[in-house]
Amino acid sequence: MLAPPHAGCYAVALAAVAFSRPRPLYSSLFQHRSLAFSSRASLRFILSAGMEHFSTKGSMDKNEGLVEQLKHYGMIKSDKVAEVMQIVDRGLFVPEGSPAYVDSPMPIGYNATISAPHMHATCLELLEEHLQPGMRALDVGSGTGYLTACFAMMVGPQGRTVGVEHIPELVASSINSIERSAASSLLNEGSLSVHAADGRKGWPELAPYDAIHVGAASPDIPRALLEQLKPGGRMVIPVGNFFQNLKVVDKNDDGSVHVYSEASVRFVPLTSRAAQLQDY
Ligand code: SAH
């Protein structure tokens, strides 16, 4: 079952992987509730119930619990990605009252969503080699700023991370969230910045980038973003309209490009501000 278009990203393939894994921790819960593992919603319920089960202290404990669950179900394989997702508390980035530590996208206003944790983990893992200390990262459609903060933690103070988001209110709230997060010093010292602009044009001032992430689905791969990708760099971008694929775009040292599809996904569209806010 697909999430509605405004519900944000949704990795069908990854969800299927999750359902095929053993889950002894939840077997009694599963029997008790008579739930079937046939939809994404059941995974969400199980993860959220699991969070409550073993983690009720502080928000960082719950964040750690979420990361542990993602590791347990094979959604996070990299220690580095686990570490950064533990350090950057997702709870600081979701709107107040939203269940922050559930593996689901959440509305953040303005017809936008924060992506599900497993999708953040997937994008971080796909980009990990291109987010080494000192490298440059561009996050297009940075929304809440969660992933932008993770990128900044990975490339560190010698690196440079830029978020581009076209809703000024989201830019303001993302900066507020980052200021309260583990990435605050990077923001204050200037290795991390977030700008209100049309991300389809990238952010040429700081190009070329080792890593480009696009957090909204584009009908095609924007030429400006391809141009701003460094030879040897990688872009991760959802491409499509209703049916979308998470594409991994590698630019070779000679400038040629190799593209493959990682998973079927569901993201909000990369579009104009007016189109996004039309029914809002
Ligand atoms: N990675 C973000 C995703 C937010 S949803 C997160 O997890 O928080 C996608 C975001 O892309 C929305 O905030 C939306 O406002 C933004 N967006 C859509 N089209 C855009 C464009 N042309 N330029 C910049 N941002 C855009």
For 71-123, the pLDDT digits (tens) are 999 999 999 999 999 999 999 999 999 999 999 999 999 999 999 999 999 99
51 pLDDT band (50/70/90 cuts)? very low
- Asked if residue 31 has pLDDT above 60, the reply is no
199 lines ligand 1 (CB under 6 A): yes
- Asked if residue 197 has pLDDT above 80, the reply is yes
Residue 176 Cα to ligand 1 middle (Å): 17
216 lines ligand 1 (CB under 6 A): yes
pTM, to two decimals: 0.84
Residue 1 Cα to ligand 1 middle (Å): 23
Query: How far is the C-alpha of 63 from the C-alpha of 143, rounded, in Å?
Result: 19
CATH code of the domain occupying 63-277: 3.40.50.150
59 pLDDT band (50/70/90 cuts)? confident
Please report the DSSP string for 109-145 in residue order.
ETTEEEPPHHHHHHHHHHHGGGS-TT-EEEEES-TTS
Query: How far is the C-alpha of 113 from the C-alpha of 98, rounded, in Å?
Result: 12
